[in-house]
Amino acid sequence: GATTVSAFHIPTGERQVAVMNDTSYVPNDHNVGALLVRPDGRYLTVYAGHNADHLMRYRISEQPGDISAWSDEKTADVGARNTYSNVYRLGATGQTWNFHRGIGWNPNYMISDDEGETWRHGGRLLAYAGRPYVRYTSDNHYRIHFITTEGHPRDSNNSIYHGFIEHGHLFTSDGQHVGPLSTSDQSDYIPQHFTKVYTGDARNVAWTSDIRLDPYGHPY
């Protein structure tokens, strides 16, 4: 059940493991945290138990490029049981975002204006009864992309939808404006408001796996 950060030094084969939290959670793969390299080279890790409580937890390494020593664990209340941390920093604004499953069992986001030292609830990305499964990526400058299902594949004949966030607004794949990003615990948006990239049915039920950007910024 421990949440850890591990390092593997390729030239020498040296391995390190640093324990972030080994007392709060029952064993579950969803407890695994997200990692981000801050502009100063220090690591930020953000993690939460799988629907264990209302807290996201986070720590920052004391030295750049070194996982051997970390700040004490801090917490932020996200307003609901939560899991699945996804952390990105937008260079255009200097803000760090953590997308997670939170309020309504839906994707929500937290924002930090000080490189992950403190956090506040930003809003709710989607409001949908089907518990969407979302994957994210970013150009690390001003845009965050996401793909999402309607729900868990045992509950829904999922399709896959794509959209992106830019300057506080939501868009479809071709840049059509969907609306302003929610800044509250409610949202006007559902997966079907975005671009369908795969049509599911009872014999072809989809689930999100990963999304990345090519050298031109196009998602795949």
- According to DSSP, residue 182 is labeled P
Instruction: Say how far apart CA 54 and CA 21 lie, in whole Å.
Output: 16
pLDDT bracket for residue 142 (50, 70, 90): very high
Strand, coil or helix: 20: strand
Q: What share of the chain in percent tops pLDDT 90?
A: 92
Predicted structure pTM score: 0.95
Q: What angle is formed at CA 3 by the lines to CA 80 and CA 87, rounded to 5 degrees?
A: 60
pLDDT computed for residue 199 by the predictor: 98
pLDDT tens by residue, 11-58: 999 999 999 999 888 888 888 999 999 999 999 999 998 888 999 999
Mean pLDDT of all residues in 154-183: 97
Mean pLDDT of all residues in 175-199: 98
pLDDT tens by residue, 83-114: 999 999 999 999 999 999 999 999 999 999 99
What is the token pair recorded at 197? 């990239």
- What does DSSP say about strands 55-63 and 34-37: parallel, antiparallel, or unpaired? unpaired
As a dihedral over the C-alpha atoms of residue 118, residue 121, residue 125, residue 129, rounded to 10 degrees, the angle is 130
pLDDT computed for residue 70 by the predictor: 98
Mean pLDDT of all residues in 178-196: 98
Q: Across the chain, where does the E strand assignment appear? A: 3-9, 14-21, 34-37, 43-47, 55-63, 66-70, 74-77, 83-90, 95-101, 107-112, 120-124, 134-138, 143-148, 160-166, 169-172, 177-180, 195-198
pLDDT bracket for residue 80 (50, 70, 90): very high
Mean pLDDT of all residues in 211-218: 96
The region that residue 172 occupies, defined by phi over 0 for left and psi between -120 and 50 for alpha, beta otherwise, is beta
Instruction: Say how far apart CA 110 and CA 56 lie, in whole Å.
Output: 9
